[in-house]
Chain A
Amino acid sequence: MTLEPGLYHLLTISTGLFFIGVYGFLTRKNLVTMLMSIELILNSVNLNFIAFNKYLWPHRLDGVFFTLFVIAIAAAEAAVAIAIVINIYRNNRSINVEQTEEMKY
Chain B
Amino acid sequence: MTLQQMILLIPGIPLFAFLMLGLFSKKIPCNYAATAGTILMGVTTVLSCFVAFGYFTAFGKIDGIYQPMIPFLYHWLPLTDLLEINMGILLDPISALMLFVVSFISLMVHIYSMAYMKDESRIAVYYAFLSLFTFAMLGLVMASNIFQLYIFWELVGLSSFLLIGFYYQKPAAVRAAKKAFIVTRFADLGMLIGILIISYEGKSLDFISLIDHFTNSPQQISGTFLGIASLQWALALIFIGGAGKSALFPLHIWLPDAMEGPTPVSALIHAATMVVAGVFLIARLFPVYAIAAPDLLQGIGYVGAFTALFAALIACTQTDIKRILAYSTMSQIGYMMLALGVAGYGAESGLGFTASLFHLFTHALFKALLFLCAGAIIHFVHSNEMRDMGGLKKLMPITHLCFLIGCLAIAGIPPFAGFFSKEEILLAACQHNRMIYFVSLFTAGLTAFYMFRLYFSIFWNKPFQQHHSHHGEGGPAMMLPLIVLGIGSVSAGFIPFGKWVSSDGRPLISHFHLSFSILPVLLSLAGIAIAAFYFFEKKKTVETTVNAMGGLFRVAKGKFYIDEIYQFVTKKIIFNFIAKPAAWIDKNLIDGLVNAMGNSTVSLSNQIKGIQSGKIQMYAGIFLIGVIGLAILAIYYWN
Contacts and interface: CB of A to CB of B under 8 A. Distances in A.
Bound together: yes
Interface of A: 22, 25-27, 34, 97-98, 100-105
Contacts of A101: 613-615
B395 interface: no
Interface stretch (B530-538, B576-584, B617-625): B617-625
Contacts of A105: 609-610, 612-613
A103 B609 CA distance: 12
B226 interface: no
Interface string B5-19: 000000000000000
A103 B616 CA distance: 10
B617 A26 contact: yes
Interface string B505-537: 000000000000000000000000000000000
Contacts of B613: 101, 104-105
A88 to B, nearest CB: 12
Interface in B149-180: none
A101 to B, nearest CB: 4
Does more than half of chain A's interface fall in helix, strand or loop, or is it mixed?
Answer: helix
A26 B616 CA distance: 9
B620 to A, nearest CB: 6
25 contacts: A22-B620, A22-B624, A25-B620, A26-B617, A26-B620, A26-B621, A27-B617, A34-B616, A97-B615, A97-B616, A97-B617, A98-B615, A100-B614, A100-B616, A101-B613, A101-B614, A101-B615, A102-B614, A103-B614, A104-B612, A104-B613, A104-B614, A105-B610, A105-B612, A105-B613
A102 B612 CA distance: 11
Nearest to B624: A22
Interface in B589-639: 609-610, 612-617, 620-621, 624
Nearest to A25: B620
Interface residues of B, number: 11
Contacts of B621: 26
Contacts of A103: 614
A32 B153 CA distance: 83
Which 9 A-B pairs rank lowest in CB-CB distance, beginning with the nearest?
A: A104-B614, A101-B614, A105-B609, A105-B612, A103-B614, A104-B613, A26-B617, A26-B621, A104-B612
B484 to A, nearest CB: 79
A98 B613 CA distance: 11
A42 B31 CA distance: 89
A32 to B, nearest CB: 14
A102 B616 CA distance: 11
Contacts of A25: 617, 620
Nearest to B617: A26
A26 B619 CA distance: 9
A30 to B, nearest CB: 12
A25 B624 CA distance: 11
Contacts of A104: 612-614
Nearest to A22: B624
A50 B496 CA distance: 119
A84 to B, nearest CB: 12
B350 to A, nearest CB: 83
Interface string B440-456: 00000000000000000
**Which of B609, B612, B617 gathers most chain A CB within 10 Å?**
B617
A104 to B, nearest CB: 3
A96 B613 CA distance: 16
Contacts of A27: 617
Nearest to B610: A105
Interface in B540-557: none
A101 B620 CA distance: 14
**Which of B609, B610, B612, B614 gathers most chain A CB within 10 Å?**
B614
A100 B148 CA distance: 71
B623 to A, nearest CB: 10
Contacts of B610: 105
Contacts of A22: 620, 624
Contacts of B617: 25-27, 97
Nearest to A103: B614
Nearest to B621: A26
A103 B615 CA distance: 9
A99 to B, nearest CB: 11
A98 B612 CA distance: 14
A104 B612 CA distance: 6
Given A25-B617, A97-B616, A104-B613, 9 more contacts: A22-B624, A26-B617, A26-B624, A27-B617, A97-B615, A100-B616, A101-B614, A103-B614, A104-B614
A97 B615 CA distance: 8
Contacts of B616: 34, 97, 100
A98 B614 CA distance: 9
A34 B609 CA distance: 26
Nearest to A19: B624
A34 B616 CA distance: 10
Nearest to B611: A105
A101 B610 CA distance: 12
Nearest to B613: A104
B136 to A, nearest CB: 58
Nearest to B612: A105
Contacts of A102: 614
A36 to B, nearest CB: 15
A39 to B, nearest CB: 15
A100 B615 CA distance: 7
A102 B620 CA distance: 17
Nearest to B608: A105
A34 B624 CA distance: 16
A27 B617 CA distance: 8
A27 B620 CA distance: 11
B603 to A, nearest CB: 14
A22 B623 CA distance: 11
Nearest to A101: B614
Interface string B186-217: 00000000000000000000000000000000
A103 B612 CA distance: 8
B47 to A, nearest CB: 71
A5 B610 CA distance: 48
Contacts of A26: 617, 620-621, 624
A54 B272 CA distance: 109
Contacts of A34: 616
B617 to A, nearest CB: 5
Interface in B3-51: none
Nearest to A29: B617
B602 to A, nearest CB: 13
B444 to A, nearest CB: 85
A88 B612 CA distance: 21
